[in-house]
């Protein structure tokens, strides 16, 4: 159990970050992203957001508190639920945080509500069981969508979205084999197991600085689900390949590690293109990286078709929400349809630059069929010359999030000659 020395300042920083999310701002917009204990508290609070909100509502006897006090209570409730600190420590440090936040008048209220929770802790779960958002810790519309799509396992999908994400590595096959690198990890005291040809799953996450050869390009951090792209594209040396929505560059790098292809990597945001270039440089790889909207062909395409296209399209991120727990509370139901419209426009544009017999790999990190199966089936049904061969790895198109990987969707669409 952790000590109390730094908890009040940590609560203050986490409170401010969570309050900004509550006002509609993404954590990705933060100039200085939360780190360390603050990040842990922020992510934990947001993963349990439905519950901590319901707890504060249930125990607040004077109406809804003002924004910062409310966010402080949410973070404090999560800290109590996490059992990482002694109960008295959380209550004491939350009251001290009121002073640091200049909310002196809220000290008694914060103290009273948290002590009330401690007295009622054993009955609280039963009280909240009838509230789906508190029980499953997702928005109601999200719960309904997942239940409709996966009636046999919807609760497991939601539970995965509340869990801590796994940390998987992709070994650069140009530098070492997965077996060789696993030996280096073991020598460094880092336990890992194999997941496929190049993927290793760590028993416990570690900072990248601890990974042997990371800065030298021997390994990258990449979810095992994301590593599926290179296998499904069936690359061969000399092919002309497009990664149409490439940032931050993990899949681009994997394609180049897999085969000697001529790769063009696009992203609509110039700053993200700089990150692609940095990642490729670390790994000793090269590609043509351009800032461009892949749907505006006149701004970037030279008229020569591509034999392989990776369309890792913008999506709801519903399959990776445990890595970005603010997303599930910032998304709206209407966003899914908006993403599907954008995704369809991207596929329509990229189809025009795909060579005869070429393959387009459509990828999302979503679990919503509207962005996945429904969109692909509609495109194939209405597009002359489009057909959908089986995936090269023999696996289903939809991978749901679980202990070993995040949720991803993959579909190959081939252009008949």
Residue 143: what pLDDT?
98
Record the tokens describing residue 148, joined without a space. Answer: 């409709």
Interatomic CA distance for residues 269 and 146, integer angstroms: 31
Q: Which CATH class for the 7-130 domain?
A: mainly alpha
Give the whole-angstrom CA distance, residue 166 versus residue 174: 25
Residue spans of beta strands (DSSP E) within 262-407? 262-267, 288-291, 306-312, 354-364, 386-387, 398-399
Q: Give pLDDT tens digits for 241-291.
A: 999 999 999 999 999 999 999 999 999 999 999 999 999 999 999 999 999
**CATH topology (fold) of 224-415:** Rossmann fold (3.40.50)
Q: Which two tokens stand for residue 65?
A: 């508190």
The H or E element containing residue 243 is strand 240-243
Known catalytic membership, residue 245: no
CB burial of residue 221 (10 Å; 0-12, 13-18, 19+): middle
CB crowding 194-218: b at 16 or more within 10 Å, else e: ebeebbbbbeeebeeeebbebeebb
Low-confidence spans in the chain with pLDDT less than 70: 1-5, 31, 33
Is the C-alpha dihedral spanning 305, 346, 258, 285 positive or negative? Answer: positive
pLDDT of residue 260: 97
Which sign, positive or negative, has the C-alpha torsion 289, 372, 239, 278? positive
Instruction: Give the pLDDT of residue 31.
Output: 66
**pLDDT at 379 (0 to 100):** 98
What pLDDT score does 414 carry?
A: 98
- Roughly how many angstroms between the first and final C-alpha of the chain, as a whole number? 64
Torsion 274-280-285-290 (CA) sign: negative
CATH number for the domain formed by residue range(s) 167-222: 3.30.70.1170
CB neighbour burial string for 97-131, b if at least 16 within 10 angstroms, e if fewer: bbeebebeebbebbeebbebbeeeeeebeeebeeb
Task: Identify the pLDDT of residue 30.
Answer: 74
Token pair of 42 as six digits: 């922020």
What's the pLDDT score for residue 309?
A: 98
Q: 211-244, pLDDT tens digit by residue? A: 999 999 999 999 999 999 999 999 999 999 999 9
Domain residue ranges in the chain: 7-130, 167-222, 224-415
CA pair distance 360, 374, nearest whole angstrom: 17
From residue 277, how far is each of 79, 239, 241, 255 by CA, in Å?
Answer: 39, 21, 17, 14
Specify the pLDDT at position 2.
55
Per the residue annotation, which of 75, 98, 232, 365 is the catalytic one?
365
Render pLDDT for 281-335 as a digit per residue (tens, 0 to 9).
999 999 999 999 999 999 999 999 999 999 999 999 999 999 999 999 999 999 9
Count other C-beta atoms under 10 Å from residue 330's C-beta: 17
The Cβ-side half-sphere exposure at 151, using a 13 Å CA radius, reads 1
């Amino acid at each position: 159990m952790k000590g109390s020395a730094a908890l009040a300042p940590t609560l203050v920083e986490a409170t401010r970050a969570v309050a900004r999310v509550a006002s509609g701002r993404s954590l990705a917009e933060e100039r200085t992203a939360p780190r360390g204990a603050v990040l842990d508290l922020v992510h934990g609070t947001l993963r349990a957001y439905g519950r901590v909100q319901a707890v504060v509502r249930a125990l607040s006897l004077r109406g809804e508190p003002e924004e910062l006090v409310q966010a402080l209570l949410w973070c404090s409730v999560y800290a109590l639920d996490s059992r990482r600190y002694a109960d008295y420590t959380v209550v004491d440090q939350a009251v001290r945080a009121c002073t640091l936040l200049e909310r002196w008048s809220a000290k008694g209220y914060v103290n009273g509500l948290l002590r009330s929770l401690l007295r009622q802790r054993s009955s609280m779960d039963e009280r909240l069981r009838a509230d789906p958002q508190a029980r499953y810790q997702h928005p109601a519309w999200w719960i309904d969508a997942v239940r409709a799509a996966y009636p046999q396992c919807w609760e497991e999908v939601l539970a995965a979205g509340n869990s801590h994400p796994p940390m998987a590595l992709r070994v650069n096959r140009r530098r070492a084999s997965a077996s060789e690198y696993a030996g280096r990890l073991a020598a460094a005291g880092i336990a890992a197991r194999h997941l496929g040809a190049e993927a290793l799953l760590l028993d416990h996450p570690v900072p990248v600085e601890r990974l042997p050869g990371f800065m030298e390009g021997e390994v990258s951090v990449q979810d095992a689900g994301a590593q599926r792209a290179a296998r499904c594209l069936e690359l061969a040396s000399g092919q002309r390949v497009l990664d149409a929505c490439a940032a931050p560059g993990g899949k681009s790098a994997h394609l180049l590690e897999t085969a000697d292809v001529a790769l063009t990597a696009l992203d609509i945001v110039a700053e993200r293109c700089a990150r692609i270039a940095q990642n490729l440089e670390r790994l000793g790889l090269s590609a043509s990286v351009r800032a461009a909207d892949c749907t505006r062909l006149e701004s970037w395409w030279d008229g020569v078709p591509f034999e392989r296209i990776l369309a890792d399209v913008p999506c709801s991120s519903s399959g990776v929400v445990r890595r970005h727990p603010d997303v599930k509370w910032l998304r709206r139901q209407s966003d899914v349809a908006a993403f599907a419209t954008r995704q369809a426009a991207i596929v329509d544009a990229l189809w025009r630059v795909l060579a005869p017999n070429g393959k387009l790999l459509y990828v999302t990190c979503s679990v919503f069929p509207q962005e996945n199966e429904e969109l692909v089936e509609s495109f194939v049904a209405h597009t002359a010359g489009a057909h959908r061969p089986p995936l090269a790895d023999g696996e289903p198109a939809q991978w749901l999030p679980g202990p070993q990987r995040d949720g991803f969707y993959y579909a190959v669409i081939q252009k008949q000659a």
